[in-house]
Structure formats: structure tokens, C-alpha cells
Structure 1
Amino acid sequence: MGTDSWKGHVNGILYGVQFDRVLDDTVVTRVADGVTAGLYPGGRAETREALDQALRFPGPLTDQADTHHSEVELRSFFRQLSAALSTPPSS
């Protein structure tokens, strides 16, 4: 994955959670299920890789997408989402 190609994945996820007041386990599950169902570009592994790259990025993750969630909240959410995507989907 290219240096900034993770941004497309992150921005897609940010768009999908922009109206959620709290980024809780319910939202993690909804987004992970959406990735599995093909509602977000890329599969589970590709999205997890993008999230992991984003979490290593030292700058703000919201430089291209406006959100009311803080940087700390988003990074925590992305860590939880990455963990959820690393486990096999329930059948």
C-alpha cells in the first residue's frame, strides 16, 4: 500500500461514522461488518493494513475529512476496528 493510500480508507470510514455521537463497540462492529460485506473499498486485510498505517502516521488523521470526534477518539476507534478486522468474521 502506498504512502498515503491509507487516507482513502480512513476517509471512507470517517464518512461512515460522521453522525455517530460515540465511537463505541456497536460502531466498531457495524463498520467491521460493512467492510466484510463490501460496503467499504478493500477487504478486511487491506482495510486493517490501511488502519495500521494510519495509526503509525504522526500527523492528524482528519486533515481531509471534518469530524467532531477528537484525534484521541479516532485513534482508539481505529485500534479497536483493526483488532476486530484481524479476527475471522462470525458466520
Structure 2
Amino acid sequence: MGTDNWKGHVNGILYGIQFDRALDDAVVTRVADGVAGGLYPGGPAETLDALTQALRYQGPLNDQVEAPHSEESIRAFLGKLSAALAARA
């Protein structure tokens, strides 16, 4: 999966969490449920692959969809989401 592909998945997730004040476990569960339920394109396996690549990426993840969360918070959230999706696989 190229940068453009995983970036699209991450941007979709960031768009979905932009109004959440805290990126807590409830938000992780909500997004994981949305991925499993088809709310996000590509399904769980493709999203998990995108998250794996995103977390390896050294550049900013919050550069296109400006969610009001720090880069550190976004990376921590995506790591928790990745773990939640992997646990469901």
C-alpha cells in the first residue's frame, strides 16, 4: 500500500474523530466498530495495514485533516485502534 492509500485511511479516521475532545477507549471502540461495520472503506484488514504503515511513517499524520489533537495523541490513538482491530481479527 503506497503512502497515498494509507494516508486516505488515516485521514478518514482523523475526520471521524475531529470533534472528540479526548481520544479515549470509548473513541477507540467506536471507530473499531465503525471499521468492522463497513463505515470506513476497505474493511478491517486494509485499515489495519494502513495503520501499521502510518505508525511507521516518520512524518506528520495530522497534516491534511487538522484534528485538534497533538501528533503524539494521534499516534497513541492509532496504536490503540490498531491493537483493537488486531484483537478482533
Q: TM-score range by the shorter chain?
A: over 0.9
TM-score (norm 2): 0.95
Aligned partner of 1:2 in structure 2 is 2
Instruction: Render the CA deviation track for 1:40-64: whole Å, top value 9, x for unaligned.
Output: 1111111011011001110100111
TM-score (norm. length: structure 1): 0.93
- Residue-pair matches, total: 89
Asked if 1:72 corresponds to 2:59, the answer is no
Superposition CA RMSD, Å:
1.0
Matches within 5 A, 1:1-91: 1-88=1-88
| Structure 2 residue runs without a partner (length 5+) | none
Moved over 6 A (4+): none
Structure 1, unaligned runs of 5 or more: none
Q: Deviations over 1:61-90 (max 9, x none)?
A: 01111111000000000000000000127x
Higher helix share: 2
**% identical equivalent positions:** 69
